[in-house]
Amino acid sequence: MTRLAPSLLKSIPSFERMSLSQTQEALDLGRSRLVAAGKSVFEEGDAAESFFLLLDGHIRVERLNQEGDRVISLHIPAGQLFGIAQALGRDTYPATSIAVVECLILAWPMRLWQGFVERYPGFGPEAYRTIGARVGEMNSRIMELATQRVEQRIACALVRLMQQHGRATDNGTEIAFPVTRRTISEMTGSTLHTVSRLLSAWERDRIVVSKRKHIHVLDAERLEQLTR
């Protein structure tokens, strides 16, 4: 693909403290590629040979439970690192990463990880801040599963998607990538029937609207009230 300009990364937290020459050096060590929607970047259990930066698109992180059911852990927005197994002390990937829409990613060999942390200003602190935020989000999800009613869990999932991946429209906030009812059930440990029933009720109440796999939050305040 076309060589990327270092100025493209200056607004990305992991790179914003680097000089342009350092950013260009980091870019030259990696490679960029497009990942088609629905394709995996890596699979759970694969050898962790690379780490990645998501330049454009959205990545879904998922695992299989002991029964073989898919569980969606989180969604990663553009501008974040992922696949950073070495930072977790692992030599395999702990989960599968799937492109929700067509994604542009940068990949570097995992053997360069420690050098990036040591050489480039701000890279390490931002990477570990990202890890902390994701661990915090997953802990919140565990508490939701353990303590909340299904209606609260589904509302929490939609609020989280709205806050992290929403784009403003004239009459609310649209989640920026396709979200099916099955996706929501796999995020919340709920049945597909329950998700469909609740979303249909919320659509009648003009809290959300769902069309062609896209969810639009019409009344964020009322949706947030449903999380309590």
Confidence (pLDDT) at 211? 85
Q: Which of 81, 113, 145 is the last residue of a domain?
A: 145
Confirm if 188 and 196 have CB atoms less than 8 A apart.
no
Tell me the pLDDT tens digit for each residue of 144-184.
Answer: 988 999 999 999 999 999 999 999 998 899 999 999 999 99
Same domain, 10 and 111: yes
What is the reported pLDDT for 171?
85
Between 64 and 227, whose confidence is greater? 227
Same domain for 102 and 11:
yes
Residue 227 is classified by DSSP as: T
Residues 6+ apart with CB under 8 A from 8: 55
Residues 76, 132, single domain; the answer is yes
Task: Kindly list the distances between the CA atom of residue 52 and the CA atoms of 20, 27, 144, in Å, as whole numbers in the listed order.
Answer: 20, 12, 29
User: Strand, coil or helix: what is 72?
Assistant: strand
Are residue 175 and residue 140 in the same domain, yes or no? no
Shared domain for 115 and 11, answered yes or no, is: yes
Nearest 5 degrees, angle CA 36-CA 91-CA 33?
20
Mean pLDDT over the full length of the chain: 93
213 found inside a domain: yes
In a domain, 1, yes or no: no
Q: How far apart are CA 192 and CA 21, in angstroms?
A: 51
Question: Any idea what the CATH number is for the domain that residue 76 is in?
Answer: 2.60.120.10
Q: What's the pLDDT score for residue 85?
A: 94
Question: Per the structure, how many domains does the chain have?
Answer: 2
For 102-112, write each residue's pLDDT tens digit: 999 999 999 99
Q: Which of 91, 126, 145 is the last residue of a domain?
A: 145
Domain shared by 38 and 112, yes or no: yes
What predicted TM-score, i.e. pTM, was given to this entire model?
A: 0.89
3-state secondary structure of 91: coil
Boundaries of domain holding 160? 150-225
* pLDDT at residue 91, rounded to an integer: 95
| Per-position b or e across 152-166, b if 16+ CB within 10 A of its CB | ebbbbbbbbbbeebb
Q: Are residues 49 and 77 in the same domain?
A: yes
Mean pLDDT throughout 41-65? 95
pLDDT in tens, 59-101: 999 998 888 788 998 999 999 999 999 999 999 999 999 999 9
% of the chain with per-residue pLDDT over 70: 99
- What is the per-residue pLDDT for 83? 96
Task: Tell me if 173 is assigned to some domain.
Answer: yes
